Amino acid sequence: MNEDHHLIFAKGKDNTENIESCTYKDGRWLVKYKNNHHVFQYNYENIKWYKNPKIKDPTTSLIYENNHPVSGITKILDFGEYVKLNFKTGYKKSYQRSRLVIEDSSLTNSSTLSTFNYLKTLANYVSVKDENDKSFLSKQYENLTLISPRSVLASYLKGEQFGLQQKKVNAVYPFGFNISQKLATEKALSNQVSIIEGPPGTGKTQTILNIIANAVMENKTVAVVSNNNSATANVLEKLEKYGVDFIAAYLGNNQNKAQFFANQKSTYPDMSKWGITSSEYNDIQSKLRASQNKLNEMLGYQNNLAIIKQELSSFQTEYEYFIKYYEQSNTTDIMFKFVKKISSDKALKLLLEFKQNVSENKFSLKDKIYNLFFYGIFNLKFYKLPPEELISFLQKVFYEKKIQELNTQIELLLKRLENYSFEEEMKEFSQRSMDLFKAKLAEKYKGGSRTIFSSDALWKDEYHKSFLKEYPVTLSTSHSLRNSAAKNYLFDYVIIDEASQVDIATGALALSCAKNVVIVGDVKQLPNVVSADIANKSRQIFETFGVVGAYSFANHSLLSSFIELYRNIPKTLLKEHYRCHPKIIGFCNQKFYNNELIVLTNQEEENQPLVLYKTAKGNHARGKLNQRQIDVVFNEVFPDQKINEAEETVGIISPFRLQAEELQKTIGNRKIDADTVHKFQGRERDVIILTTVVNYNERNAFADNSNLINVAISRAVKKLIVVVSEGSEEWNGTNIGDLVRYIQYHNFEVIESQIYSVFDLLYSSYSEKLLEVMRKSKKVSNFKSENLMNTVIGKVLNLPEYQSLDWVLHQPLRMLIKDPVKLTEEERTYAMNILSHTDFVIFNKHDKMPVLVVEVDGHAYHANNPVQLKRDKMKDEILRKYGIPIIRMKTTGSMEENRLNKKLEEIFKIKSGSAGLIGS
């Protein structure tokens, strides 16, 4: 009987290869076997005969049995109810069709194959070579001949959108959680693809551990990969801390594999106390559900507390600057009883209304009656004080009331958390979750002796299944994962950590092993390093294949590629920050994270968290080495700051290897780490000293790179000391310049200047109130003009290159000009009048210093108004004398956005093609 055309089961056994003939006669089957003259008779139901199978190509087909790949297949005969497989060894086996998953490789699709060949071509150039000049990645791609359509890689190569599954998840959190981590875990477990953005110190490893625990409890397999061993070693270390590391196989490179297989244990840890009854299990689940909602509420309070504390700190800092202005400008000691009863919001509203009354030069009886009933102003002396002094007084009241209100909110939230015993409840919740996790492990492993595997368990089908049952968690490097599992095996979850450092060619290999993927990383931290040669070569390959921009090797890591390719992918930003002093991470938060981070560390002011050292002018920097800065570090920083190396961990960071090596020579045997920024990613130290190397004369784009600056700063837990060249605060449009300005502002070290910094919080709040008036006003045409210009400024400053800038409306000239000594008497009278204000001030967020004044010239209001034209000219001259650039915009113009952008480019001296210096 020809086995390629027939499949015969006799009494449930495949006897096709032994049957010579089979006929049906008189209600019975007559079967003659080879080498046997006897004809066997079978009842009808005891013979199953299948004919004319569909022949599938084993070079383009994948077959899985119970989620495990069946490999070594030479022939696939699909008889419908049954499938017969022939193997390289000569062995043949028939399977019930329902037990198998048979798939066509995604590489049969021409679009998918083209993108795959692009990555395969890249792999030959972008990887380390062996002794035969063969790329390691290239070898992997040569062995990757089949891609399951269920794998994440299949959709990624095709650029196909992932379905939003949104499965219901009842997750547990044995490793603790916060609001962001809980959301990230739920999205990871309920979607085929999700992204977890993990800024510095936000607990991404904790999130990964919770995902692992939930997956293992559901009998799923998990692979955690990264571009280096340190990230996966950190995961293993945390599992070990809780006594559950025995579920993980630490694999990856050959050395790790050899070490793992050599050090296997034949026994399990003692799990005798982990087991619980099903009723106890259900009882714990009920308690977790009962406490979950309350904990979520308390976590919300904790976050609100941190946000309000940060707001209070900002107001207190700005108030200190305001008091200096107030003391210099006010001569009368003012106090009114109504102040005790009004809120900050009412103070602001009164300020706005009072300025309107002053501008109209009248306080009608109606106004005074309104003020009496709405604000409680009954003392008529209020209306007789100089407007400048009264407005300053109301501004002061706003600050004081706001600070008082924030303190009250903080006290209320602290009481709520203390009354709830938040810390104890969170600890108990995590412990109960861990009890459930360990109970599942005790049930899964059930004690006894443990199988010792040889290394071929990673690729032999019959052993790999048992291996994954024992070790459901695989830890590996991203490029070695395919060598750490059976060929074409799909892990239920692949978690790619530090994905901003994983290139797309390497990352694709990990995606080929994943049914579901969780991509963890931060595009604001260090990307994968691409040399100029490889970048150029990859661009040539990119252009040859004509793939879309998201697949550019030179421009994208795996993380940024997914963000570019899939705009609607489930994404979670881990917001809660636990590492740095609030003022240290405050710069990163303001500069790189749009103030989205919630800083949960305490703001202890005994030790100054930000310190700045400036080296004297001179050409001390020689390329990538600055000996003067090294001398300052050891001769000034260490003695001045009283750094105790025995009690504090200390790191010295430089952007350049040459500087780091010179620092290491100077350190000798002292307990101080000195290295490049790249070597410090993922680490932290109590004290970080950042030596920037470059001086003004050779400003270096590499040293000023936003990713480097972000990582360097966020390594510091208690204190950040920055060593820069003299005059670095004048480096407009640079990250280092912004950092210097930020430190000076928060340390009240702003250089003695003839102008004030912008009172951001006061005038941001004031601007909101003013915009409300503008939107409601139907009478005043210049309000409409300013409203339109406000939108234009918002659009321009939303560009990435201007992320360090912000703007306010109607800040008075007298609150910009600190010392009017340069002004004529006429100019002084005009500038010091409280009604003389700017339309818009664009300022640097980090030191609040004005960058550009924008004036709106309403066509009718200005063109036919000689008095106004004279004032405009005077205002321009005043600002020119104090070095504050100004641009005037006509409401009849059609190129306002372009003009404003050009003016800002001029200020920052941005050359074409290098605009990224400001924001990146």
DSSP string, 401-464: HHHHHHHHHHHHHHHHHHHHTHHHHHHHHHHHHHHHHHHHHHHHH-SSB-PPPPGGGGT-HHHH
Q: Note whether 902 and 782 are same-domain residues.
A: yes
Q: Note whether 817 and 723 are same-domain residues.
A: no
Write the CA distances from 310 to 403, 514, 586, 594, integer angstroms: 12, 41, 9, 14
Question: Is the Cβ–Cβ distance between 752 and 764 less than 8 Å?
Answer: no
Q: Is residue 439 part of a domain?
A: no
Domain end, chosen from 73, 105, 137, is at 105
Q: Is residue 136 part of a domain?
A: yes
Q: Is residue 910 part of a domain?
A: yes
Q: Note whether 477 and 589 are same-domain residues.
A: no
Question: Is the Cβ–Cβ distance between 552 and 524 less than 8 Å?
Answer: no
User: How many domains is the chain built from?
Assistant: 4
Q: Radius of gyration over alpha carbons of the chain, in Å?
A: 35
What single letter denotes the amino acid at residue 291? S
Tokens of 579: 């590492």
Give the domain range for residue 135. 119-267+449-573
Containing 563, the helix (H) or strand (E) segment is: helix 558-565
- Secondary structure of 31-87 in HEC code, one letter for each residue: EEECCCCCEEEEEHHHEEEEECCEEECCCCEEEEECCEECCCEEEEEECCCEEEEEE
Tokens of 364: 């009608």
Q: Note whether 664 and 691 are same-domain residues.
A: yes
Question: Is the Cβ–Cβ distance between 484 and 222 less than 8 Å?
Answer: no
Q: What pLDDT does residue 920 have? A: 30
Residue reference for tokens 């609001």: 179
Question: Is the Cβ–Cβ distance between 514 and 145 less than 8 Å?
Answer: no
Domain end, chosen from 692, 714, 746, is at 746
Q: What pLDDT does residue 605 have? A: 65
Provide the 10 A C-beta neighbour count for residue 884.
19
Q: Note whether 718 and 587 are same-domain residues.
A: yes
Q: H helices within 129-178, ranges in order?
A: 136-143, 152-158
Domain end, chosen from 557, 573, 589, is at 573
Tokens of 151: 């794998």
Residue 668, φ and ψ in degrees, nearest 5: 65, -125
Q: What pLDDT does residue 918 have? A: 34
Q: Is residue 766 part of a domain?
A: yes
Q: What pLDDT does residue 675 have? A: 94
Q: What pLDDT does residue 469 have? A: 94
Residues 523 and 598: their CA atoms lie apart, in Å, by: 19
Entry field: residues in the chain: 920
Q: Is residue 459 part of a domain?
A: yes
Interacting residues of 520 by C-beta distance below 8 A, sequence separation 6+: 195, 196, 198, 204, 207, 208, 495, 496, 497, 498, 499
Interacting residues of 915 by C-beta distance below 8 A, sequence separation 6+: 801, 905
Q: Is residue 289 part of a domain?
A: no
Q: Note whether 170 and 39 are same-domain residues.
A: no
Q: Note whether 776 and 896 are same-domain residues.
A: yes
Q: What pLDDT does residue 917 have? A: 34
Q: What are the 10-residue block averages of pLDDT along the chain, 920 residues in total?
A: 92 93 93 92 95 95 94 95 95 94 95 96 79 73 95 94 75 95 96 96 96 97 93 94 96 91 93 93 94 92 96 95 87 79 89 80 78 78 82 91 96 92 91 97 88 89 88 94 93 97 96 97 92 93 95 96 94 96 96 96 82 78 82 92 89 94 91 92 92 68 89 96 86 88 89 81 85 62 75 92 92 91 94 91 94 82 72 93 92 78 85 34
DSSP 249-296: EE-SSHHHHHHHHHT--SB----TTT---HHHHHHHHHHHHHHHHHHH
Q: What pLDDT does residue 893 have? A: 56
**73-78 and 82-87: which strand pairing?**
antiparallel
Which residues sit opposite 514 in a β-bridge?
A: 491
Q: Note whether 565 and 584 are same-domain residues.
A: no
Tokens of 91: 């062995």
Containing 717, the helix (H) or strand (E) segment is: strand 716-725
What single letter denotes the amino acid at residue 118? Y
Containing 191, the helix (H) or strand (E) segment is: none
Task: Name the burial class of residue 664, with classes exposed (0-12), middle (13-18) and buried (19+) by CB atoms within 10 angstroms of its CB.
Answer: middle
Q: Note whether 800 and 913 are same-domain residues.
A: yes
Q: Note whether 811 and 681 are same-domain residues.
A: no
Question: Is the Cβ–Cβ distance between 55 and 83 less than 8 Å?
Answer: no
Q: What pLDDT does residue 788 have? A: 84
Residues 136 and 130: their CA atoms lie apart, in Å, by: 7
CATH number of the CATH domain containing 235: 3.40.50.300
Q: Is residue 355 part of a domain?
A: no
Residues 713 and 742: their CA atoms lie apart, in Å, by: 12
Chain centre distance of CA 853: 34
Q: Is residue 427 part of a domain?
A: no
Q: Note whether 785 and 644 are same-domain residues.
A: no
Closest CA relative to residue 200, chosen from 593, 675, 513: 593
Residues 106 and 155: their CA atoms lie apart, in Å, by: 9
What is the biggest distance separating any 2 CA atoms in the chain, rounded to whole angstroms?
A: 129
Handedness of CA 796, 799, 805, 808 (dihedral sign): positive
Is 386 strand, coil or helix? coil
Q: Note whether 100 and 175 are same-domain residues.
A: no
CA angle at 314 for the pair 308 and 316, rounded to the nearest 5°: 100
